[in-house]
Chains A and B, each alone.
Chain A
Amino acid sequence: MNESDKTFREKLLDMEKPNASYKKQYEMEVLAMVEKKLTGWTKLSHIVGLIMGLGFTILFGTMAVIVPKEFPIWGRFLFALGAVFGLAIIIVEVWILKKGTINLKKDEMAMAGLGWGFVVIVSAAVLVFSGQLADRIVAVHMLVSLLFYLVMAAVFMIRAFIQRSELNTREKLLEVEYRLADLAEKIESKCSE
């Protein structure tokens, strides 16, 4: 920008000549702040998540392979699905731990999705097993508890989804409003010319 085009404020701000080394140090610290680095506890929770993912993959993967031939095919499929789910947890956790930062918007939705997936897979597995049980009362108890967890998970998932959708809608609306205001400003300046 040409010096003469600058506003008084811009010229005034340019008068301040900060010390380069102080500024660099400040910028590094502010960047670390903005990136939402993983702290001790959050890092630990992701390590626990990674171990759980490993556990799921090994457990469900082994079950899918070693179950007897007479075991229903869709039961075997559910175990395989559990192993895939465990693998998805491993990928997400390794990815977060590797980059060392959290993106609240993307990562939290991924974690919520994984949580929901976990509940659905466990529910499906319980359904399979309760169908196999000879004791009908125990089977009904299992199904009732399953229903409770399913409803709870669904409520949390729907709530998270609604909140995210509301924010996204508000963001889109503001973007449209901003474009309209920009357009109005341009038209006004053209008319005044």
Chain B
Amino acid sequence: MNEKQAIYYELLVLRCRQGQKDALEELVRSWEQRLFYYVRRLVEDEQDAWQILQETWVKVLQGIKKLREPRKLPSWLYTIARNTAISHLRTKYTARVLLQRDSDSCDIEDNANNLAFEDAEQVHYGLGRISLYHREVLTLFFLQDLSIEEIAEVLGIPTGTVKSRLYHARQALKAVLRKEAKNYE
């Protein structure tokens, strides 16, 4: 995050704390698409995703006065969205769903590294076909709002684990895309 962006977040948070309607609208407007994309990757049902996003905003508006470091706004928003989605998943399925590692990284070849992710359509398609465990970290990475340290903060894991998860998630995505390409051939 550059200095200008950090100041912008601080200014936005300060205005939201003052209850300025314009600032609250700006906060929602500038973040809802990204947060929705993230939440949508965590839950299957679209209506649930909108509901989670709405609950996220309730929590954000209630908690913004307590946000100690406004510069951490992006990771704070993603953390709230994630926690809201997890409690939703807990009520629907079991808590294990998010935490369990799926087997889609087992048949990964080492030479898969030369595949670059440049096609957004392919990535979007692939994200829907890998496990939730991999999808979550990769979505946060592709949304480009957070550094590795911030992703670790959101997921509540060490940075080293994020890097390793990202590596495996990339491999899983590549495997899915390669399989899809073979099917076309």
Interface residues of A (CB under 8 A from B): 7-9, 11-16, 18-19, 22-23, 25-26, 29-30, 33-36, 102-105, 167, 170-171, 174-175, 177-178, 181-182, 184-185
Contact = CB atoms under 8 A, between A and B. Distances in A.
Chain B contact-residue range equals 35 or more
A174 B14 contact: yes
A103 B21 contact: yes
Given A12-B37, A30-B57, A174-B11, A185 B4 contact: yes
Interface stretch (B76-84, B120-128, B168-176): B120-128
Contacts of B142: 8-9, 12
Interface of chain B, main secondary structure: helix
Scoring A7, A15, A102 by chain B CB atoms within 10 A of each residue's CB, the highest score goes to A15
Given A11-B121, A16-B37, A34-B61, 20 more contacts: A8-B117, A12-B142, A15-B121, A15-B124, A16-B124, A26-B50, A26-B54, A30-B54, A33-B57, A33-B61, A103-B21, A167-B14, A170-B14, A171-B11, A174-B7, A177-B7, A178-B7, A178-B8, A185-B2, A185-B4
Interface in B122-169: 123-124, 142-144
Nearest to A108: B19
A36 B22 CA distance: 12
A171 B15 contact: yes
Contacts of A177: 7
A64 to B, nearest CB: 37
B128 to A, nearest CB: 10
Contact of B120 (A14, A25, A26, A175): A14
Interface in B1-43: 2-4, 7-8, 10-11, 14-15, 17-21, 24-25, 28, 32-34, 36-37, 40
B120 A105 contact: no
Contacts of B15: 171
A182 B18 CA distance: 24
A91 B142 CA distance: 52
A8 B18 CA distance: 35
Contact of B10 (A9, A103, A174): A174
Given A33-B61, A167-B18, A13 B34 contact: yes
